[in-house]
Amino acid sequence: GAVVSQHPSWVICKSGTSVKIECRSLDFQATTMFWYRQFPKQSLMLMATSNEGSKATYEQGVEKDKFLINHASLTLSTLTVTSAHPEDSSFYICSARDGSDYEQYFGPGTRLTVT
């Protein structure tokens, strides 16, 4: 149980375009979802926390207008990287938590390359 999927697993896009990444909890209801970014050889960096039906809470230094997060249902959250630039190239990982469990269940990650 507690499976989280992400789509796509990797994507290459041109600078200036937008990319949407989906995160789904397959067998539980995710009241809270988290979006992380990880650069090579660095630890996870929390970008934002989203609760179903409400606006995401962004960490300091993360541009909310650039990284649009929608958590419209208890099983789906999306991250849209708008007007992507090469410096946005990174490994994006989502995780999900249900209301009764402290553990975060991670998706497999999405590798974004902006050319």
Partner 1 sequence: GQNIDQPTEMTATEGAIVQINCTYQTSGFNGLFWYQQHAGEAPTFLSYNVLDGLEEKGRFSSFLSRSKGYSYLLLKELQMKDSASYLCAVADSNYQLIWGAGTKLIIKP
Q: Which residues bind partner 1 (CB under 8 A)?
A: 34, 42-46, 49, 91, 93, 102-109, 111
Largest Cα–Cα distance in the chain? 41
State the nearest-atom distance from the C-beta of 21 to partner 1, in Å. 13
Looking at the Cβ atoms of 8 and 16, the one nearer to partner 1 is 8
Beta strand pairing call for 110-114 and 10-13: parallel
Looking at the Cβ atoms of 68 and 109, the one nearer to partner 1 is 109
State the nearest-atom distance from the C-beta of 16 to partner 1, in Å. 27
Q: 15 Cβ partners below 8 Å, 6+ apart?
A: 84, 85, 86, 114, 115
State the nearest-atom distance from the C-beta of 83 to partner 1, in Å. 26
Looking at the Cβ atoms of 82 and 109, the one nearer to partner 1 is 109
Stated length of the chain? 115
Token duo for residue 60: 């300091």
